[in-house]
C-alpha cells in the first residue's frame, strides 16, 4: 500500500502498539531494550489477518496447528529475565526452543541478541517464521532450524542464553548440558497441575534455580518422532 491510505493503516497499529508497551511498563517491564524492541516489532504481521485487530491486546492468539503466539506480557517477561543483570552482548550465543511464528525471535533480535538460533518442530510454522522475519527486515537474521528442541543444538553449543517457549514436564537434559557456565535458561515447567516460569543459572559449582511466577504455555512435545 502506498500514499495516505498506507500511512493511516500503519498509524492505527502503531498507536495500539505504543499502548501495549505502556501497559507492559505498568505491569513491571522496565528494561529499555525490551520496551524498545516491542515498540519496534509489528506484532500484527505475525498474526493471520482475521485476528489482526487483536494483535496488540495482551492475549495469546492461535497460530494454527494447535499452537499459539504467546501473550505480549509473557514475551516481555521472558526476555527481561533472560537479560537481567547482563548487557545484550553478555547474553551471547542464544538458543530459542519453539519458534512458532517468530515473534519472540524478532523481539530477542531487536533487543540486541544477534547470535541467535531458534528451533521449531512443525515445518509449516518454521517456514512461516522465516517469511515473517524476512518481511520485517531486521538487519541481522536468526538461524531457524526445523527439528526437535528437546535435543537442543549440540553442534552450536555452548549457549550463554536459552529460552524455551513451550512447557516440558522436566528440564531437558540436553539443554542443561548445552548451557555455558555463567549462562542462563528461562523456561516454563509443567508439574502436572500448573506451570511455572523458572530461571536456571549455570554456575561453576552447579545450577541455581529460581521459580518466578505462574505461566501458561503449550506443551513442549517430547516424541522421538522425526519432525513433521
Ligand atoms: N515463541 C512463540 C511461541 C510459540 S508456541 C511466540 O513467539 O509466540 C510454542 C511452539 O513450540 C509451538 O510452535 C510448538 O510447535 C513448538 N514446540 C513444541 N515442542 C517442541 C519441540 N520439542 N521442539 C521444537 N519446538 C517445539
Tens-place pLDDT, residues 181-195: 999 999 999 999 999
* Test site for ligand 1: of 37, 47, 69, 166, most ligand atoms within 8 A of the Cβ: 166
Average pLDDT, the chain: 92
Grid coordinates given for 195: 506451570
Grid coordinates in use for 94?
542464544
Q: Whose CA is nearest to atom 4 of ligand 1?
A: 100
Catalytic residue among 30, 60, 70, 118: 70
Query: For 145, how many CA atoms within 13 A lie in the half-sphere containing its CB?
Result: 18
Q: Which atom of ligand 1 is closest in space to residue 166's alpha carbon?
A: 9
- Contact of 37 with 79, CB cutoff 8 Å: yes
Q: What is the pTM of this model?
A: 0.93
C-alpha cell, 219: 506443551
Q: Any idea which residue has 529499555 for its cell?
A: 32
Angle at 58 (CA atoms; ends 79, 102), nearest 5 degrees: 50
pLDDT of residue 56: 96
Mean pLDDT of all residues in 151-157: 98
Residues 196, 180: Cα–Cα separation, whole Å: 23
Query: Which position has the grid cell 515445518?
Result: 123
Q: What's the mean pLDDT in 202-220?
A: 96
> Residues enclosing ligand 1, CB less than 6 A?
67-70, 97-98, 100, 103-104, 119-122, 125, 148-150, 165-166, 218, 220-221
CA distance 66 to 28: 30
Q: For residue 168, what pLDDT band results from cuts at 50, 70 and 90? A: very high
- Measured in Å, residue 2 CA sits from the centre of ligand 1 at 35
Amino acid at each position: 500500500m502506498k500514499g495516505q491510505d498506507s500511512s493511516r493503516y500503519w498509524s492505527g497499529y502503531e498507536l495500539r502498539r505504543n499502548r501495549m508497551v505502556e501497559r507492559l511498563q505498568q505491569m513491571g517491564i522496565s528494561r529499555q531494550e525490551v520496551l524498545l524492541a516491542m515498540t519496534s516489532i509489528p506484532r500484527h504481521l505475525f498474526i493471520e489477518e482475521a485476528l489482526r485487530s487483536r494483535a496488540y491486546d495482551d492475549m495469546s492468539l492461535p497460530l494454527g496447528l494447535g499452537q499459539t503466539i504467546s501473550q505480549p506480557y509473557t514475551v516481555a517477561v521472558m526476555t527481561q529475565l533472560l537479560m537481567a543483570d547482563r548487557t545484550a552482548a553478555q547474553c551471547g550465543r542464544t538458543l530459542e526452543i519453539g519458534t512458532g511464528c517468530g515473534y519472540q525471535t524478532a523481539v530477542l533480535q531487536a533487543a540486541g541478541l544477534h547470535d541467535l538460533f531458534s528451533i521449531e518442530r512443525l515445518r509449516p510454522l518454521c517456514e512461516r517464521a522465516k517469511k515473517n522475519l524476512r518481511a520485517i527486515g531486521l538487519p541481522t537474521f536468526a538461524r531457524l532450524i526445523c527439528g526437535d528442541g528437546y535435543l537442543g543444538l549440540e553442534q552450536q553449543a555452548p549457549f550463554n542464553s536459552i529460552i524455551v517457549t513451550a512447557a516440558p514436564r522436566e528440564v531437558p537434559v540436553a539443554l542443561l548440558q548445552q548451557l555455558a557456565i555463567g549462562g542462563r535458561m528461562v523456561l516454563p515447567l509443567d508439574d502436572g497441575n500448573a506451570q511455572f516460569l523458572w530461571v536456571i543459572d549455570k554456575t561453576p559449582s552447579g545450577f541455581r534455580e529460581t521459580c518466578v511466577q505462574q505461566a501458561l504455555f503449550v506443551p513442549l512435545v517430547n516424541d522421538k518422532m522425526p519432525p513433521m
